[in-house]
Structure formats: C-alpha cells, structure tokens
Structure 1
Amino acid sequence: MTGFSYSHYFSLFHCRRSPRSPGATNAAPTANPPRITYSRRYDGRLFRLSKPDVELDPVVIAISNGDEETLSDMIKAGKVLSTPNSDGWIPLHEAAFYNQPRCVKLLLKAYPGTIDCRTLAEETALYLATCRGYLECMTCLLEAGAECDITSKGKETALYKACEYKHVEAVRLLIKYKADVNHRCNHGWTALHEAAVRNDLDIIEALIKSGAKIEASNMYGITPLFVAAQSGQVDALRFLTKCGASVNTQASDNASALYEACKNEHEDIVKFLLSQNADANKGSKDGWLSLHIAAARGNMEIVQMLLPVTSKVRVRRSGISPIHLAAQHNQNDIIEELVKAGYSVHALLSAERSRLFEDKRTSVLYFAVYNNNVEATEILLKAGADPNVDLINPLLIAIRHGSIKNIQLLIDHGANINAYIPTHPTSFPATIMFSMKYLSLLKLVMDFGGDGESCFKCEYGNRPHPEQVQRRDDTQLAHKKPRTVQFCEMVSTPGIYRWAGPIIDILLDYVGNVNLCSKLKEHLDSYDDWINIKAKSEPPRPLVHLCRIRVRKLLGRQRLKLIEVLPLPGRLKRYLEYDFTDDLM
C-alpha cells in the first residue's frame, strides 16, 4: 500500500562498493593485466595453464615490484611513460595503485603534468591511492600539488572514498590539504553521510570540526542523522544528535528518521530517538505513522514503545488503523496488543484507501479472513468485530477459501448467511453461489439457514428462457444497472452445469413445495441419473419433510446454530439436522 519511497531507494544506494575495494587487490585494470588461461578437466573442474597468453607490460612489472632502478633506466632511455592505455591508465596510476611511493616520486619528477591525469573512469592517482588507504603515496601526491576535489564519474572525491572505506588517517590528511568536506556526489551524498552510515565516529568528528554541514541533505532530502537511523548506527546517531542534528528530520517523501528506524526494526535507534523527543506523529507521504509501519513489521518491542506517544486522533486522520496492517500481515500478537491498547476492531479504511483494493474492503476482519488467518479472525470476532460491514461479506471469502473453521466462527458471531453482493446482483444469496462447486460447503450453508427457496423463483417459469448473449464491450453497459442473475442461469454456466443435479438435490432438502422452471427441468432431463431428483421436486412433498422445514423456520437461524445444546430428544435433533440414520422418511 505504500508508494515509492526515496528513503528506501537510498538505503540501497549507500551500500554500494567501488570495484576497487581494499579486499580486491588484483581487481585493478592495469596497463597490461595478467591474463590467466584455464582449461577444463575430464570431470568438469577448471585448472590453470602454466603460461599466460599475454605478455605483461615491463613497465607495470617494474612498478608492481617497486623496481625504481629499472623504471629510472626506462625514463633515461627516452621511453614515454605518460601515454594512457586502453583504460586510460598511465604508469603514475599503476604506481599509486601498487603503493609504490618512490615510483610515484620518480614519475612525478619526470612528468609533473600528469599528476591529476584521470583514467576513463575519471579516477586520479590520488583517488586510487585513497581508496586503498596508501598514506605515503597520498602524501607524495598531495605535496606535489595533487588536486583533492577532482571527482570520479560518480562525482565522488578522494575524501568521499576515504570515508567509504573508513580510512581515518586518509581523511585527516585530505582535510589537512583543504579537501572540500561538503562536496556532493551525483546523488547529493556527502562525506558525512558516508561516515554516518559506516558508524565511524573519528571520521564524523573530523568532518564536523572541519566545517561539514550537519544538516546537509541529499537529493532525496536525507540527512546524515537520517542515514544513521535508517541503517541502525546508534553510535553515529548519538554523536550527531549531540552535535545538534535534528531528530525530527524528514526525507522528501516525508518519512521521518523514526519512521525509517521502525521500518528497519532498529529497536535501539527507536528507543534513543523517543528519548530525544522524536515526534511519533509525523506522517509519511502516504499518511502512515511510525506505529503503522511497526505494526506491519510485527515488532512487538517497537509497537509497545510507540503506543504511549502515538495520537489516536492522528491515526484516525490517516484513514487506516494499525490493526488493519497487523491483520494484513498476519501479525496476530500485534493485533491483540493494539486491541488491549484501545484501538477499535470496528475501524474502517477511508474511502480513498478502500479504493486501492479491487474488492473495496474496509474492515480489519476482512483482512484476517482474506488471509485465511483463523487465529486473527477469532481474536477480532471475540473483540466484537462486525462481520457484516464490507461490500463483499467476509463470509463469502471464507466460503471461497473453503475454511470451515472461519465459516463457523463468522456465522457464530452473526455473519449474514444470506449475504448478497450489491455490485453483482443475484436473485439468490451469494453464499449459495460461492458454495455451489463444493457440495459439502453448500450443505453447510443450507444447514445454517441458507435461503434455498429463492433459488427456485424464476421470472420465466415454464416459459422458454431467452439466450444470454455475452456482450464483448462491457463499457457500453457501464452506465446501466447490472442485470440480476437468476439461479437457473448460474447453474447453466460451463463450470457448474455438470453439477446442476446434485446442487438442486441438496437445495430440495431445505425447501418445501417449489416449482422448477423450464431450464432446471431441462438440466434434470439431460442425465438419466437425475430422474429421481426431478421426481423428488414434484409436489406435494412428503408431510414429514414439510414438518421439518416448518420446525426449522420456527427455530430460526440463531437457534439452528445451537441445535446440539437445545433441550430436544436426540432423535428429533438428528431429524432436524438431516441425519437419516433414523429413517423417518
């Protein structure tokens, strides 16, 4: 039910890693990277061939080995060491990558103009050295005048990468050389954001002392404190709060830091934010409060922390109760906790939220029945939930699921056994329509007082029934009132007509003298096995049957549900329950 969340997107963004992470020392696209050739054994395993298929560049070999003498000889011999390869790398990049500060100095002396030369990925030698935390190489480059704030393709500076890889001394060194502590990457992410998500207090302190903006927000309105709360970094959160960061910061989608902490189930973050008077009643873009998302996640500890500080008025204004979300996500313990806290099981979705569902559901009970959650259904019904407020009665959903337990619970608590669907009118109850494919369910519905007589009231009677032509363009009928579908038409549909006889047979057990219309007679005549059913329908019905129908009507649906405990003789109970062991017929 929630829409696109910028804050959720950024929770993915800040976890990215450079392909040149410190744990991947052989991942660099060097001037002539080693080409390792593999072959496959008879059993499918790979093995390495002894000889590389490409000869390595001697310059790269000399640099990687720290062979200054060979490198110096190459320079003296006039070999050009400033020409980039296909990846835009020059020997200076290789020297920085392999942490060879003497080679760096040698190359800078010979080619001082290459100090800020960039690869095709727009990475400088300083950037490469910083990513790997090579302080000596960084110092050589900075002392030679390397520019701190040249960015890569992602608009990330060397300082940004130092924060990402938690190189504290590299951060301090770059700050010493006046690196821009408030530079933003192409998503507006600053070095402080990166330090907050890494929970590195030394870097955070160094950045703030050097003028980092504590409330800097990225393109989605997310501040460093928001990032710390979102990612569960309690130490960074405490430090930033101590430095004056607002605990009520909100992203562009209005999600607060508290909301994000609840969504990600960071109990310690939620506890700290509430201790700092974070507002639990700030709604997100779609109107959810922190309690809503905590209920949906099913985190009892967070829910209990939020209950005392959440305004029930604000919850009502949101158009959705946290109990709705707990029921939607099968959080049964949360449902009980919310009911105990005074949240009403009668709460309904607002019209705007109800329209988001094709079935136009509104009640909490509907969510529980829709999920076939018997425990939640029982909790809600015992708490007084009304089973008859939705456009589509939850009993119909229980019948569709074939959930006998839920059907029994709903009927015991007053669900309308003869419920209809207003948007799809029928001349007989929708409960009968939903159970026709399952004869045991149909009998159950009839046992509880289903209106079987309505199934035999046909407007055409013994006259021929007109053919029902399926209109292809339903939009032409959108402005007209839907036509009422009759029982005889329903049992004539392709998925049901083969069961018409047994369906009619069950219904006849619960009605008195009725007349079958021409279409029902046609169905019963179509199978030889159904001739007895047709004979059964012809009046007059046996007096013992008519008496049973009369007694059941006098008892009413409520007493029929309690027939087992009524003070009646056992044989009479069996008679009323259609138990034919005593063959009263």
Structure 2
Amino acid sequence: NHDQLLLVLAHFWLLVNNLKLINQGSSVNLITADHVSPLHEACLGGHPACASVLLKHGAQVNGVTIDWHTPLFNACVSGNVACLNLLLQHGASPHAPCDLASPIHEAAKRGHIECVESLTSNGVNIDLNIKHLGTPLYVACENEQVACAKKLLESGASANGGKDLDSPLHVAARNSNADLVHLLIDFGADVRAKNAEGKRPVELVPPSSTLTQIFVQKEGPLSLMQLCRLCIRKCFGHKQHHKITGLLLPDELKHFLLHI
C-alpha cells in the first residue's frame, strides 16, 4: 500500500545517504555530545540496512552513550529483531553494560517477544534481577505484556522471581490482570508468597475484581499433574525444554508439559 511504499523509499534514502557520506570520508563512529553514534540512531529507528552498512565500515558495535545505551539496547527499544541479530553477529554483547540499561528488561517492558527470544538464546540470564527493575518477567507483568510473560515462562524464567519480595503474581493481582494471574499460577507461582508489607497476592486484588475467587480456589496444594509438570520441566532445565518434544509420550502429554 501507499504507506508501505513510503516506508521503503525512506529506508532506501537513508541507505543511499549513509553510503554517500561514508564515501565522502565521514566517520561512521562520529558521535554527538551525548555519545550517540549513527549506529545507535539506525538501531533506534529500526533500520537494519543502514546498520549493516555502518557495521561493514567499522562502526563500534558496543558503543555506549552517556545514558549507557548500546546499539543493541536501542534495537530492543525499537523491537527490531533484524537489527538485534545483526549486532549479535558482529560481536555485540547481549548483556547490560550497567543496571541502567538492560536490553532484556527493555524488550520485556515493551513486549518485543522476538528480541527476548534472541537475547535468551545468546546467553542472557533470563532471571537477571536488577534492584530498581526486578526480573524481566516482573517487568513484563508490571507492564501487562501477557504474550511476552508467557514466552519468558516457556523459556524457563522463574514464576516467582520478582522485585525484592514483590513477585510477578503480586503485580498481576495489583493490576487485576486475570490472564497473567492464570498464566503465572500455571507455571508454579506461589499464591501464598508475602511481599515486604506482609501481603499475599490475593490481598492486593482490587475490591471490585473477580480474581479473589480464583485465588481462593488456588490456595490449596497443587494438583499431582501440576507438580509432575513442574518437576519434569525443572529436570530438563530451561535450555533443554525443546527436547520434551522428543519424549516417547502421547502428544497430549507433551503439549501439557510444554504448556501448549
């Protein structure tokens, strides 16, 4: 359509302009007063073709701005997995340069599932707990990114890893998000966990919410099926969950173990 054509033309213009400037002798590592480089801007804008040209001409893949933003962090802001994978292929570190700018937390906050998948497959700690943010799962739940929270849980994130004593289930209850509450409980979240104020998740549910009844039903011991699922998944470890599909079990059981 017309909008897509304009977008393609804009990307093409950026690419041609970058090549022209490089051929005229401009440095690909020229930075602003805030240490923002052309590669930072290309990734923030979601322009993988421009990022590729810059990298091929020697752009610093791990350059850091005064806010500790790397090009990879910016790719997580834009949610452009093509830029993200390109950076990783050129040696970008998937880890946070400091607690102020964690790529996986930023991707989780914005619900960029493909970025989360790429980072975890490249060795990022899926349960990385940053004091002022919590874990990536907590951030996803705090921002009600249900699909991203599900992907983190499927990838092996702890359902109980939160921010200090506040668990993902606490924040889901506080936001009265039924989808997240069901999801977290399915993956083993502790409904009896207490936060710093000594409150369980059910005690944070808004008075008008229908979630109270759900918590009452779930306060008893886990079913044997649920305990078995959690135990088997734990034995495999989050990096080996994909091997569950190779077990000599009926498809129905494999789907149950994989939360499909």
TM-score category by the smaller chain? 0.7 to 0.9
- 2:77 matches 1:131: yes
Indicate the SS of the match to 1:183: coil
Alignment partner, residue 214 of structure 2: 272
Contact 1:162–1:171 under 8 Å retained in 2: yes
1:150 paired residue number: 96
User: Higher Cα Rg: structure 1 or 2?
Assistant: 1
What is the one-letter code of the residue matched to 1:240?
Answer: L
- Distance in 2 of aligned mates of 1:71 and 1:216: 44
- Alignment correspondent of 2:152: 207
Q: Who is 2:138 aligned against?
A: 193
2:186 is the alignment partner of 1:242: yes
What does 1:403-552 correspond to in 2, within 5 Å?
A: none
1:98: how far off?
Answer: 2.0
RMSD: 2.2
Q: CA deviation at 1:174?
A: 2.1
TM-score if structure 2 supplies the norm length?
Answer: 0.73
Maintained 8 Å contact 1:66/1:100: no
Instruction: For 1:2-21, list aligned pairs within 5 A.
Output: none
- Does the CA-based 8 Å contact 1:156-1:184 persist in structure 2? no
Verify the 8 A CA contact 2:19 2:53 in the aligned structure 1: yes
CA–CA separation in structure 2 for the residues paired with 1:71 and 1:156? 27
Partner of 1:167: 112
If the length of structure 1 is used for normalisation, what is the TM-score? Answer: 0.34
Tell me the residue number matched to 1:88. 35
Which secondary structure does the structure 2 equivalent of 1:267 belong to? coil
Deviation at 1:241, TM superposition (A): 0.8
Q: What is the match of residue 252 of structure 1?
A: 196
C-alpha distance in 2 between matches for 1:65 and 1:93: 18
**TM-aligned CA deviation for residue 156 of structure 1:** 4.0
Name the CA distance, whole Å, in 1 between partners of 2:90 and 2:208: 46
From the superposition, tell whether residues 67 and 202 of structure 1 become closer, same or farther in structure 2 (CA, over 3 Å): closer
- Could you tell me how far apart the structure 1 residues matched to 2:32 and 2:129 are? 30
Q: What per-residue deviation string (whole Å, max 9, x for no partner) do you get for residues 467-514 of structure 1?
A: xxxxxxxxxxxxxxxxxxxxxxxxxxxxxxxxxxxxxxxxxxxxxxxx
Q: Percent same amino acid among aligned pairs?
A: 22
Provide the rounded CA distance (Å) in 1 between the counterparts of 2:208 and 2:75: 35
CA distance in 2: counterparts of 1:243 and 1:121, whole angstroms? 35
Whole-Å separation in 2 of the counterparts to 1:208 and 1:151: 25
| CA 1:197–1:107: 2 relative to 1, 3 Å | same
Which residue does the alignment assign to 2:122? Answer: 177
Q: Give the deviation of 1:66 after TM superposition.
A: 4.0
Alignment of 1:292-303 (within 5 A): none
The CA deviation at 1:168 is 1.9
- Report the counterpart of residue 106 of structure 1 in structure 2: 53
Which 5+ residue runs of structure 1 have no aligned equivalent?
1-62, 279-585
Matches within 5 A, 1:347-358: none
Q: Which deviations, in whole Å up to 9, do the C-alpha atoms of 1:114-138 show, x marking residues without a partner? A: 1011111111111112112112212
2:18 partner amino acid:
L
1:277-288 alignment to 2 at 5 Å?
277=219
Q: CA deviation at 1:232?
A: 0.9
Query: Which structure features the higher share of helix residues?
Result: 2
Deviation at 1:205, TM superposition (A): 2.8
Work out the CA distance in 2 between the residues paired with 1:168 and 1:250.
29
**How far apart, in 2, do the equivalents of 1:64 and 1:86 lie?**
26
Gaps (5+ residues) in structure 2?
1-9, 221-260
Q: How does 1:324-339 map to 2 (within 5 A)?
A: none
Q: In 2 relative to 1, CA 190–248 (structure 1 residues): closer, same or farther, beyond 3 Å?
A: same
Return the letter of the residue paired with 2:176. G
Distance of aligned partners of 1:267 and 1:210 in 2 relative to their CA distance in 1, 3 Å threshold: same
Per-residue CA deviation, residues 385-428 of structure 1 (Å, 9 max, x unaligned), is: xxxxxxxxxxxxxxxxxxxxxxxxxxxxxxxxxxxxxxxxxxxx
What's 1:227 paired with?
171
- Report the Cα offset of residue 99 of structure 1: 1.9
168 and 87 in structure 1: CA distance in 2 versus 1, 3 angstrom threshold: same
Superposed CA offset, 1:245-275 (max 9, x none): 11011111212211111xx335222111111
Please say if residues 64 and 94 of structure 1, whose CA atoms lie closer than 8 Å, have aligned partners that are also in contact: no
Deviation at 1:177, TM superposition (A): 2.2
Aligned residue among 154, 161, 184 for 1:216: 161
Given that residues 117 and 125 in structure 1 are in contact (C-alpha distance below 8 angstroms), is that contact kept between their aligned partners in structure 2? yes
